[in-house]
Chains A and B, each alone.
Chain A
Amino acid sequence: MTGTPDPLLSVRGLRKEFLTGSSGGLKKRRRILAVDDISFDIGVGETLGLVGESGCGKTTTGRLILRLVEPTAGSVTFDGTDILSLPPAEMRALRRRMQIVFQDPFGSLNPRMTVGELIVEPLVVHGVGDPVTRERKLRDLLDRVGLSIWQAGRFPHEMSGGQRQRVCIARALALAPALLVLDEAVSALDVSVQAQTLNLLSDLRRDLGLTYLFISHDLGVVHHISDRVAVMYLGQIVEIGARRAIFEAPAHPYTQALLNSVPSARKGRKSFFTIEGDVPSPANPPPGCRFHTRCPIAVAQCRTDPPRLRALADGREVSCHLAKAPPKGASP
């Protein structure tokens, strides 16, 4: 099963439907199944990478876990507590232990506050410490994320994209959380700054024992940071397992297609394996296997019969009628 002994986070049957379009207008309201029955665990100190193409439901999953949007169905258990049944006050207290960092470090920082004010704001909001201890905490946080104390007086627009992302990480760390949801946290950064930020995230995980849900569309970055990886397609997890299993011998045809689509500076070849077509609209997902419209090996059963996530011999789980455990030592 999806089970990890003693998980910090446990997600079961999570589902989110959005209704779009105006009610009562001429346009029909559309029902978008953004997240469709997903389940996974993250162990203490573990990093789960969540990959998939845009619109497949990664961000919605991250927000559901923090209860920034209310799920349509399913359960989220954080450190033994079922968070969906928590009353608002207790949810607020629990939120100190789960934090999120977004892609756009500009959009999520108030331009009129200094870096120092931004970093201690969560402490102020949650009434943690006094001005003296907050000042000490600020120095510690700046130091942890590789910023200098003189930068505390700066405004976000005076900093580079990488520095702003450090500010966001420091802010997220202020309340000493156990779980960080990182939603495309390094995706907008230039490669040299992205490498610095990934190193920082690795150090923080080691030094503070943090647990990450690392959301990204960049397979190289996910490979670099994750212990386990979940691959999403049209709101569902199609494959989940240990990093090595997923990257060295992907079992789902979609995982294989994703990995084959990435050109690598070290491979340097001049041809591109592709799968055909676009991702179908989540307002009108195909019947049967969601991937069958693009799948190179689909059979008749795939068009009618939705596959369920099942475990293969090596422990990974995959949702495909035809997937088999790859022979030991095989690679794509």
Chain B
Amino acid sequence: MPSTDQPPTLSAPPPLLDVEGLSVSFGSLNILNGVSFRLAPGETLGIVGESGSGKSMTALALMRLLPRGGRVTATRLQLAGEDILSASESRLESLRGARMGMIFQEPMTALNPVLTVGEQIAETARRHLNVSRAESRNRAIEALRRVGIPSPEQRIDDYPHHMSGGMRQRVMIAMALICQPQLLIADEPTTALDVTIQAQILDLMLDLQDEYHMGIIFISHDLGVVSAFTDRVMIMYLGQVLEEATANDIFTHPRHPYTEALLASIPELEGEPTRLNAIRGTVPPIHDLPPGCRFAPRCDHMRPVCETARPMLIPVGADHSAACIRNTDYRFP
């Protein structure tokens, strides 16, 4: 996507988010393997992949909110220059909410059903902003107004289950943004919503990003939404990044066979329908990974070497990398 942001140079300030070699394991099971990326303020990174590819685990690892038993390692994990891998739990507590906010697919799991939405937003404001009870309520009303909830003075005393799915997602956004965090992590924020409501929410998120200049990590399995909403895209498969590039490049010049195949699998909205180019087979279970390239068993371009050698994510163009042997000098026998 066209952007006025310059690529990072030596003298540039640290990126908002700097992640290198992020891995997650549960016991002996590696579910995330060496994920690396940078995110600039005001930039949106899309994370795309099929179910189980590790999108949510990436988000939770960034927030240091992994489920019990999850172990995170990284060579670098920094938010605006601050190391969050070694941060204490109390420091993390204050970073979450104040510097990084998160919204999820199903707001009901994140909202407390026995508190009014106003109480929940105001509570977040009090915890992080050190404001009075009255002031926090005013801020909650303002926040609800900002996310497009009609008559917020009344709706503030509603319970979450009295609201529609779209309204609840607006409340989640109001709560995540009450402290104007620099980073917003959105995990499938519109997946449970109808398309007209999805369009409203995406529109709202774009507006708020313009206003607050926050960096957004946008997780979705919907390639259409990601292409329209993000600047850069990371394609994940079985805990690994297979391709990373600008959204425009990924969707017009994909370089990884998996990305190509995913794009060919989406039914089009126009033209004469033709048989879909479905990827054969299914995603193997994470505890039984293919030894070479993880996509090899389903890949139409597979060569014998792919079954034994694991390709690295390497540059294949300006600001574009992919993990496929096709893109190297390797001469196929």
Contacts and interface: CB of A to CB of B under 8 A. Distances in A.
Interface of A: 53-54, 160-163, 190-196, 198-199, 202, 217, 219-221, 223-225, 247-248, 257-276, 278-279, 294, 331
A261 B166 contact: no
A192 B199 contact: no
Interface string B25-55: 0000000000000000000000000110000
16 contacts: A53-B196, A53-B197, A191-B50, A192-B282, A192-B283, A192-B298, A220-B267, A225-B267, A264-B227, A265-B226, A266-B251, A270-B206, A271-B203, A272-B200, A272-B203, A274-B196
Given A191-B265, A195-B265, A272 B199 contact: yes
B194 interface: yes
Given A192-B279, A272-B202, A272-B228, A248 B195 contact: no
B263 A265 contact: yes
A273 B199 contact: yes
A110 B51 CA distance: 24
Nearest to B194: A53
B164 A263 contact: no
A224 B275 CA distance: 9
B302 interface: no
A174 B105 CA distance: 37
B91 to A, nearest CB: 35
Given A54-B194, A219-B195, A270 B50 contact: no
Interface string B273-309: 1011111101100000000000000100000000000
A262 B266 contact: no
Interface in B142-185: 164, 166-167
A192 B269 contact: no
Contact of A220 (B194, B266, B275): B266
A162 B273 CA distance: 22
Interface stretch (B62-70, B79-87, B217-225): B217-225
The 4 nearest A-B residue pairs measured at CB: A224-B267, A263-B228, A195-B278, A53-B194
B228 A162 contact: no
A261 B273 CA distance: 20
B50 A275 contact: no
Nearest to A193: B282
Nearest to A161: B51
Contact of A192 (B224, B248, B251, B278): B278
Contact of A195 (B226, B277, B298): B277
Given A220-B266, A224-B276, A263-B225, 7 more contacts: A192-B279, A192-B298, A220-B224, A223-B268, A247-B269, A248-B270, A270-B228
Nearest to A274: B199
Nearest to A223: B269
Interface string B187-220: 0000000111111101100100000000000000
A114 to B, nearest CB: 20
* B-side interface mostly: helix
A221 B264 CA distance: 13
Interface of B: 1, 50-51, 164, 166-167, 194-200, 202-203, 206, 221-229, 247-248, 251-252, 261-270, 273, 275-280, 282-283, 298
A287 to B, nearest CB: 20
B164 A278 contact: yes
Contacts of A221: 267
Contact of A223 (B197, B261, B273, B277): B273
Contacts of A191: 50, 221, 223, 262, 265-266
A190 to B, nearest CB: 4
A42 to B, nearest CB: 18
A331 B247 CA distance: 26
A39 to B, nearest CB: 25
Given A190-B283, A221-B267, A224-B268, A265 B223 contact: yes
B262 to A, nearest CB: 6
Nearest to A188: B51
A53 B164 CA distance: 13
Contact of B262 (A192, A225, A270, A271): A192
Contacts of B167: 278
Nearest to A270: B228
B203 A274 contact: yes
Nearest to B150: A277
A271 B282 CA distance: 34
Contacts of B282: 160, 162-163, 192-193
B247 A278 contact: no
A261 B72 CA distance: 38
Contacts of B166: 278
